[in-house]
A and B are shown apart, each in its own frame.
Chain A
Amino acid sequence: MMRAMRNSWRLAAACLSAVGLVAAQTNRISFNHDIRPIMSDTCFRCHGPDKNSRMAGMRLDIREEAINPIRSGRIPIVPGDPEKSEIIERIFADGAKIMPPAYAHKTLTQKQKDTIRRWVSEGAVYEGHWAYQPLQRPAVPEAGEALPAKNPIDNFIQSRLKQDGIAASKESDKRTLLRRVTIDLTGLIPTPVELTAFLSDSSPDAYEKAVDRLLASPRYAEQRTMHWLDAVRYADTCGFHGDNILPAWPYRDYVLRSFLTNKPFDEFTREQIAGDLLPNATVEQRVASAYNRLNRTSAEGGLQPKEYLAKYGADRVRTLSAVWLGSTLGCAECHDHKFDPLLTKDFYAMKAFFADVQETGLVPDRGSKAWGAQLALPNEEQKRTLTTLDDKLAVAKARLNEGAAKLPASEQQWEEDVKRRWQAGELAWTWQQPMAAEALHGARLTIYNREPVESNYYLSGSLKTDKKPGEGLVVASGPNPDNETYVITLKPGAGTWNQLGIDVVQDESLPGARYARGADRFLLSEVEAEVSEPSAASRKIKFSLATVNDSPPGPSSTTDPSMPPLGAIDGDPKTAWGVQFGEARDPFLAIRFTEAVTTTPRSTVIVTLRHESELRKAVIGRLRLALAADPFAWPPIADASKRARGNDATGAKTWASGLPEDVMKALRRPADDRDDREQTAVRDYMTWSSPALAADNIELQRLETERGLLEAAIPHVVTTVSVDPGVTRILPRANWMDASQPIVEPAIPRFLGVLDTKGERATRLDLANWLVSHNNPLTARAFVNRTWREFFGTGLSKTLDDLGSQGEWPTHPELLDWLASEFMHPEFQAASARDWDVKHIIRLIVTSHTYRQSSIPDPASSEKDPENRLLAHQNRFRVDAENVRDIALEVSGLLAQEFGGPSVNPVEPPGYLAALNFPKREYSASHGPDLYRRGLYTTWQRTYLHPSLLNFDAPTREECAVNRSVSNTPLQALDLLNDPIYVEAARVFAQEAIKDGGKTFDARLDWVFDRALSRRAIPEERSILRGLFERDLKSFTADPAAAHDLLSEGEATLSNDRDPSLLAAMTTVTRAVLNLHELDTRN
């Protein structure tokens, strides 16, 4: 249907279908060509494979059943005798007896009825459905006379055209040809240099050489990967509920490498479905097995695991059957298939292959158990460093333990001392009421000391709002730059201090996990402090350690190793302390000074908080500062509502007592009454707070931080781990709560055969081996059909995901089978090809004359074949969503060339993720070249796919998608006109044109056209664009501020040595060119 959309004008002109054309050529009625499509659509629903919905006991899809009497004694089909056949009587009946019945909303045309009658009178000969027949290499027919056949594809196409008296078209001109094949193979357009080289190469195999050059390019691998990722529903987020980022991109890189090295498709198949089960599985093969884990998963609280395991399993069956079998086995989840011989039992037997995949129904999206089984992928250097660090850590731990063992035996005295100091407030934190607070990059900071301030927060699942004096709360508002630095001045009064505390205050008004003014977390990259007296120079305060309140007392003090507390005091702006998920209300960072700082009543302490991380707007929205006299005062509990209240040493009220909760609890009762947890807490805190062990604690924490950061930097990927297979039952109507039905063992659909596993339970590896064996006719057919679509716009059967009864009969079944045979085992140009050779099939297609034909239709052939299904010429269609962007970036010179790597975040409109939660978040765009990567590398956020990809019909990949629609909508026009990336591309394109294109407008326009359209402008085009340029030059000269505004879009370097009005006016010219239909149409 989607494909037809593009050709709707042709449909409007004539209604002949290719199937109709075939029928007109044949003398005898053919079951497969003529009868099956009718019966499948109108009869099989009630008289087909599904026994539960079968009416009158009549089954028409199998001859043996159809020619025997049914319950009523009537015979549905009497071969050779339509008058005695029940079905003929019924389809020609009137009123209540008519078949199909009125309620089915299916009506047979007179012609269809006549066809069925004729078929019965000719003996009612059945044929097996084409796609399920064993694959046999068809003989290559004679080609047409007029045009050269480059390879057997042309023989099939041209002989078929000849039957209808349609002539194939001539080869396209060289410019069009190179653009076409470059787009199809790489998703990009040829550079002017490539085009010139091709045009000047007059050798007979100039085109074949160009094809080989393109097939060898990493860009080819990227383009193939883009299509494959749709099929295997690859995405970077989990797709349900919080839709958080899952570690998947190394799998994408595996696919990239596989296409780059032209990995045989059988191996490619085996590695993805069962890479983990291969003998001595390599890391690469285990990465490939991430395929089984790319389904959507949920971490929604309250989900029933069994229900979701059923969903995950069903997804795997749907994906596998669409991608490898071209079948809709998913239909059989609830009932036997209505049209194809697929039973519910087959569905669950297929699902059972995956019952060994280790997984949980609720797949955690955070914390140490996040995403289930993962594979770490350290490089050699990372491996070495890890080993070194582990050795050092062992030493440091041993030293600390040794030290701890030597601590005074009398815990009692220590306890009494701590208790006394705690109750006297000596350990407490003293909250500060700042004198001044300033943001250096534009934000507004407001201090609320005595002043009331509104707070919105959740308490026990319920939103509370209150308005109370701020008690030192600093609140950011106003402008919200990507990076921000706060400078806060305190006047602590006379005292001696050993720690600075930063209390990050959560509020519902904050979009970044309720902590930050953007992003999905806050990241405090650096803290600095200095103390000064009115008359003296200020002194920098040096820090020795940082601790947070989300862990038990001890040196390891953070839950997310990528954002450790020490990140805020290590002088490295790349590392930061941060918190992502919103559960840790009011996290508190305690920073210990290297030496005590004494203040007088006149001293000021200036605290600088830098947010310089790459994540944009990960800037704290609300905070308080505190000081502690004791170097070992523990940061107060994260949940502000549970903090212990008391007085600090100055007598002021505080709600930060300076002891861990468990220690406080323990100290309140006799040692004998304490539980293990409390005992451990006391012991740990004693070790931690012992001045004698301070250096050892610091060393241990430093090493653990370093190791955590390294661990976080190592790429991870979800992977398949095989465990004892769970029980797989048939679920009646997919009801996961119904355990009444039998258990099934793994098996392929019964009608396709039986796996011989010598009595052992069949595994995913058995399944994979069968998929790519000669016993399975479907994998190769489905693959070549899908591949064909990428080079002609429509598959040989246009229903790429359904080669079954309800799918479209292929226009060229013999060609499809020939290609499938050639794919499995090449015989044509076999010397240079292997079995399952993807590049071989693609090379055959793109070097065929059929592919190379002109795309301009001949009126006579359009009349006979309005949809061009017989391929008398090439087709024209818009490039895929990612390529729309790729091409604009390429011609403007912005495109980053990097191959593979973590997914990136191109610019996206603000607020687009506002309806997401867990965590609440705002999008944060990447930096530098990562803003200009190919669309393929864009973070694939399933529930909110990047809007420009969505606008141009990219699938969300929540579900397997083997076909894309191609629409043409006003939202696309708005996107190309106004999306900042296209404005930036136009500006950079114009800069380049002015720099490299010559001195005059005409010369620059030539340069622009060469680069974007591989041709020169015709006089009318030149005059339209010159007019636009001159009018806009006038406007921008009159309003330089407007020119400045236009040119300041985007982060790419702006050339400043040019006349801004000229550049702005040239930008409107390049912007027009980037909006041309010709630019993103593959011709």
Chain B
Amino acid sequence: MMDNLVRTATRRAFLGRASAGVGLAALNSLLNPSPLGAAQVANQGSKGAVNPLDFAPKAKRVIYLYQAGGPSHLETFDYKPKLAEMTGKPMPESFTQGQQIAQLQGQKLICLGPTHGFRRFGQSGQMICELFPQVGGIVDECSIVRSMWTEQINHDPAHTFMNSGSIITGRPSMGSWVLYGLGAETDNLPGFVVLVSAGKGGQMQPIAARQWSAGILPSKFQGVRFNSVGDAVLYIKNPRGVTNDMQRDSIQAINALNELEYKSLRDPEIQTRIAQYEMAFQMQASVPGLLDVSKEPSHVMEMYGAKPGDGSFASNCLLARRLAERGVRFIQLYHRDWDHHNDVKNNMVFKAEEVDKPTAALIADLKQHGMLDDTLVIWGGEFGRTPMSQGGSGRDHHIRGFSFLLAGGGIKKGLAYGATDDLGYAAVEKPVSVHDFHATMMALLGVDVAKLAVKYQGLDVRLTGPEGGRIVHDLIA
């Protein structure tokens, strides 16, 4: 039924009433509403502001598995046997003096060794916490960065910094920059999609919508959150009592009326509006198909551990692959509850159960679909956790060193990059800042982050801020 509707409600049907030239102009202003975009009207091949690309792209899209709350690097990817030996002993002051800490400020700092074992996985022999055997199974596809560091120690600003390279509100998020720079490969779905899941085991820290905001970029570049409750996309469903046929009929009437206005005023903004109604209708038609996983083979569902409609991280990983297949440029999955101020040992068990299998499944599944090579998969949080204990069993926020897992999209395979010191406190070997990470991600997508700027308040606003970021060439295959 819906398929049929999509065919009858093609762009031609909507724009056919207008002269072809105007329709095309409207479409172009739709895709390129910025002055930068306007300059590219002549270039029909262009989809985004960066045209041509600065580098040969290795990745076409990004799936970012954002582990919100600050996962402990010491119970995931950063093996610290020396820290285990120090358990219960005071943290040497040489490590911590003059450093910013969060809830532990003013307290005695006692070491807490890794609460779970590590072992070697894969041909590459990477040391990974044994809570993550499935990730261990695909680790030869991945690089682990053990020398991440950030500047913000509280959740809210740390998220903002990780996403936008700044703590000043109004800076575009990285997904918005990517969409702005590269454009979308689909008109039927938003180009930047956000999914949020929650699980067990930590303080469920809030996540502000600012994290996927387009900021000073036009709002068409903002991330669109798909919900697991109510409408998947806000206002995607027809009003109750209105069938798809009636909805199409209404949209056609609205567009026909707007077309009449256009004929008398020749304001191209009206043409843009007509095109938006067409896209809205196509989105209405596409989203149910996207969400309908009933045709996925049962072994795929099992591989992810996904249950339709449960809103879990596993289901979102599967959706991420389906979104990627449909041309969505930037897919960001937030998984909450990594804030383990207490009982990091038991809480890590919950988290590992929730993310280990789906993370591995996504990477394997992308590979099976031939998409891993051009899909950059990122796994990591807004900061790490202290090697010092909080309340005897937990860990506090930590910004000086933590780990990221990267796969696909031009990332080297089986590489371990950088290191923290013996106690897992500070990134001492090949440190990677948030700006460096952004610069590297953009480079993999073919964009020189230093050149991608938008003028605002007299500044050239960039994802990597005024300081800029360094491309970590060693990570790139």
Shortest B29–chain A CB gap in Å is 5
Binary contact track A1033-1072/B, C-beta < 8 Å → 1, others 0: 0011000011111111100000000000000100010011
Binary contact track A1-43/B, C-beta < 8 Å → 1, others 0: 1101110110110000000000000000000000000001000
**Most chain B CB inside 10 Å of its own CB: which residue of A300, A920, A1041, A1078:** A300
Are the CB atoms of B457 and A802 closer together than 8 Å? yes
Are the CB atoms of A1046 and B239 closer together than 8 Å? yes
Given A8-B37, A970-B276; A461-B450 close (CB under 8 Å):
no
Are the CB atoms of A970 and B279 closer together than 8 Å? yes
Are the CB atoms of B350 and A463 closer together than 8 Å? yes
Whether, in the assembled complex, A301 has its beta carbon less than 8 Å from a beta carbon of chain B, the answer is: yes
Are the CB atoms of A914 and B227 closer together than 8 Å? yes
Residues of A within 8 A of B153 (CB): 302, 304, 307
Interface residues of B in 196-234 (CB under 8 A from A): 196, 198, 200-210, 213, 216, 218-220, 224, 227-231, 233-234
Shortest B19–chain A CB gap in Å is 15
Are the CB atoms of B102 and A304 closer together than 8 Å? yes
Residues of B within 8 A of A783 (CB): none
Are the CB atoms of B34 and A461 closer together than 8 Å? no
Residues of B within 8 A of A8 (CB): 29, 32-35, 37-38
Contact of B239 among A9, A304, A311, A978 (CB under 8 A): A978
Whether, in the assembled complex, B283 has its beta carbon less than 8 Å from a beta carbon of chain A, the answer is: yes
Interface residues of A in 939-965 (CB under 8 A from B): 942-945, 947, 950-951, 953, 956, 958-959, 961, 965
Are the CB atoms of A462 and B236 closer together than 8 Å? no
**In the complex, which range does the number of interface residues on chain B fall in?**
35 or more
Are the CB atoms of A1042 and B243 closer together than 8 Å? yes
Binary contact track B1-44/A, C-beta < 8 Å → 1, others 0: 00000000000000000000000010001101111011101000
Contact of B35 among A11, A969, A973 (CB under 8 A): A11
Are the CB atoms of B209 and A969 closer together than 8 Å? no
Shortest A313–chain B CB gap in Å is 14
Are the CB atoms of A977 and B235 closer together than 8 Å? yes
Shortest B23–chain A CB gap in Å is 13
Residues of B within 8 A of A240 (CB): 156-157
Shortest A977–chain B CB gap in Å is 7
Stretch from A191-199, A607-615, A1021-1029 that touches the partner: A1021-1029
Are the CB atoms of B204 and A241 closer together than 8 Å? no
**What separation, in Å, do the CA atoms of A977 and B281 have in the docked complex?**
10
Shortest B392–chain A CB gap in Å is 10
Stretch from B299-307, B336-344, B402-410 that touches the partner: B336-344
Whether, in the assembled complex, A773 has its beta carbon less than 8 Å from a beta carbon of chain B, the answer is: no
Are the CB atoms of A1046 and B276 closer together than 8 Å? no
Are the CB atoms of B458 and A916 closer together than 8 Å? no
Are the CB atoms of B270 and A1077 closer together than 8 Å? yes
Contact of A1048 among B37, B39, B240 (CB under 8 A): B240
Are the CB atoms of A241 and B155 closer together than 8 Å? yes
Whether, in the assembled complex, A799 has its beta carbon less than 8 Å from a beta carbon of chain B, the answer is: yes
Are the CB atoms of A304 and B105 closer together than 8 Å? yes
**Most chain B CB inside 10 Å of its own CB: which residue of A2, A801, A1077, A1081:** A1077
Residues of B within 8 A of A805 (CB): 458
Whether, in the assembled complex, B51 has its beta carbon less than 8 Å from a beta carbon of chain A, the answer is: no
Stretch from B74-82, B113-121, B256-264, B325-333 that touches the partner: B256-264
Shortest A515–chain B CB gap in Å is 15
Stretch from B246-254, B312-320, B365-373, B435-443 that touches the partner: B246-254
**What separation, in Å, do the CA atoms of A749 and B261 have in the docked complex?**
51
Residues of B within 8 A of A959 (CB): 168-170
**What separation, in Å, do the CA atoms of A465 and B336 have in the docked complex?**
18
Residues of B within 8 A of A578 (CB): none
Residues of B within 8 A of A807 (CB): 458
Residues of A within 8 A of B227 (CB): 909, 911-912, 914
Are the CB atoms of B342 and A460 closer together than 8 Å? yes
Whether, in the assembled complex, A975 has its beta carbon less than 8 Å from a beta carbon of chain B, the answer is: yes
Given A876-B269, A911-B229, A969-B219; A300-B155 close (CB under 8 Å):
yes
Whether, in the assembled complex, A105 has its beta carbon less than 8 Å from a beta carbon of chain B, the answer is: yes
Interface residues of B in 48-87 (CB under 8 A from A): none
Are the CB atoms of A462 and B343 closer together than 8 Å? yes
Are the CB atoms of B234 and A974 closer together than 8 Å? yes
Number of interface residues of A (CB under 8 A): 115
Residues of B within 8 A of A880 (CB): none
**What separation, in Å, do the CA atoms of A802 and B450 have in the docked complex?**
23
**Most chain A CB inside 10 Å of its own CB: which residue of B39, B196, B234, B256:** B234
Residues of B within 8 A of A296 (CB): 169
Whether, in the assembled complex, A1031 has its beta carbon less than 8 Å from a beta carbon of chain B, the answer is: yes
Write the chain A residue with the least CB distance to B453: A105
Residues of A within 8 A of B256 (CB): 1024
Whether, in the assembled complex, B347 has its beta carbon less than 8 Å from a beta carbon of chain A, the answer is: yes
Are the CB atoms of B210 and A958 closer together than 8 Å? yes
Whether, in the assembled complex, A856 has its beta carbon less than 8 Å from a beta carbon of chain B, the answer is: yes
Are the CB atoms of B347 and A462 closer together than 8 Å? yes
Shortest A129–chain B CB gap in Å is 12
Whether, in the assembled complex, B46 has its beta carbon less than 8 Å from a beta carbon of chain A, the answer is: no
**What separation, in Å, do the CA atoms of A535 and B126 have in the docked complex?**
78
Contact of B254 among A456, A461, A508, A1072 (CB under 8 A): A1072
Binary contact track A227-261/B, C-beta < 8 Å → 1, others 0: 00000000000001111000000000000000000
Contact of B38 among A12, A40, A965, A969 (CB under 8 A): A12
Interface residues of B in 129-144 (CB under 8 A from A): none
Residues of B within 8 A of A856 (CB): 265
17 A-B pairs with C-beta separation under 8 A: A5-B218, A302-B103, A304-B153, A330-B457, A465-B200, A737-B100, A799-B458, A909-B234, A911-B228, A912-B234, A953-B219, A959-B168, A968-B269, A973-B279, A974-B233, A974-B283, A1018-B260
Chain B interface residues toward A at CB < 8 A: 25, 29-30, 32-35, 37-39, 41, 98, 100, 102-103, 105, 153-157, 167-170, 190, 196, 198, 200-210, 213, 216, 218-220, 224, 227-231, 233-243, 245-247, 249-251, 253-254, 256-258, 260-261, 265, 267-270, 272-273, 276-277, 279-280, 283-284, 334, 336, 341-343, 346-347, 350, 391, 394, 396-397, 450-451, 454-459, 466
Given contacts A461-B394, A1049-B240, 4 further A-B contacts (CB under 8 A): A460-B342, A463-B202, A917-B206, A974-B284
Chain A interface residues toward B at CB < 8 A: 1-2, 4-6, 8-9, 11-12, 40, 105, 240-243, 296, 298, 300-304, 307, 311, 328, 330-331, 334, 338-340, 456, 460-463, 465, 508, 737, 799, 801-802, 804-807, 856, 876, 878, 909-912, 914-918, 920, 942-945, 947, 950-951, 953, 956, 958-959, 961, 965, 967-975, 977-980, 983, 1018, 1020-1021, 1024-1025, 1027-1028, 1031-1032, 1035-1036, 1041-1049, 1064, 1068, 1071-1072, 1075-1078, 1081
Question: 10 tightest A-B contacts by CB?
Answer: A806-B458, A461-B342, A911-B229, A1045-B241, A1046-B241, A943-B208, A302-B103, A302-B102, A973-B280, A462-B343
